[in-house]
Amino acid sequence: MNNSKFLKIVIVLLLLINLSTISFMWFNKPPKRDAVRDFLAKELQFTAKQREQFAALKKAHRTEIEALKESNKENHDAYFDLLKNPNVDSVTVSKAAHDIILIKEKEELSTFYHFQKVRALCDEKQKQKFDEIIKDAARMMAPPREGQGPPPRREGEDGPPPPRP
């Protein structure tokens, strides 16, 4: 009988832990990109006309970024397909890596020019506010950094081989 009471307590504790974990995750989820864009419109107190123009800019930017992300995916696929060829030369690998970097550059430039156009929508007072909040808004839109990349090296492990000249 004592054993069953113990199991009931453990089950209740596990339920409480699960509920608190789910609650924590629910209330601390990162903002969505649309929420960030809405944040800009709200903080800058856009007029109805500015909101319309802003919506058109968002749509055009989203379309451009989606196309670039598709190109990025295709370039990454081609890059890793090079692994199938045991005799691939370093020039071909470097070119494939460079093609990926060019897409990332286009994404960054697209985002910069998008925000430049958003700033151009603003009156002088809104431009001052824009200049104050743009770095925070851009950080909110960026993908999370934590947990990305390769796992840390362990003590005594060798890293990848150095690149060939």
Q: What is the mean pLDDT of residues 5-29?
A: 85
Burial of 37 per CB tally in 10 Å (0-12, 13-18, 19+) = buried
Q: What is the mean pLDDT of residues 91-110?
A: 94
Confidence grade of residue 89 (pLDDT, cut at 50, 70, 90): very high
What the block records as the tokens of 142 is: 């960026």
What is the pTM (predicted TM-score) of this model?
0.63
User: Residue 78 carries which side chain, given as an amino acid letter?
Assistant: A
More confident residue, 28 or 79: 79
Instruction: Summarize pLDDT for 45-82 with one digit per residue, the tens.
Output: 999 999 999 999 999 999 999 999 999 999 999 999 99
Confidence grade of residue 91 (pLDDT, cut at 50, 70, 90): very high
Query: How many separate helices (H) and strands (E) can be counted in the chain?
Result: 5, 0
For the ranges 14-23, 109-118, 119-128, 143-152, the lowest mean pLDDT is seen at 143-152
CA 11 to chain centre: 38
pLDDT at position 78: 94
CA distance 17 to 29: 18
Question: Which of the listed ranges 18-32, 66-80, 132-146 does the model predict with the highest average pLDDT?
Answer: 66-80
Question: Rg of the Cα trace of the chain?
Answer: 24
CA distance 142 to 108: 11
Check whether 145 has a pLDDT greater than 80: no
What the block records as the tokens of 62 is: 């989203």
pLDDT at position 8: 87
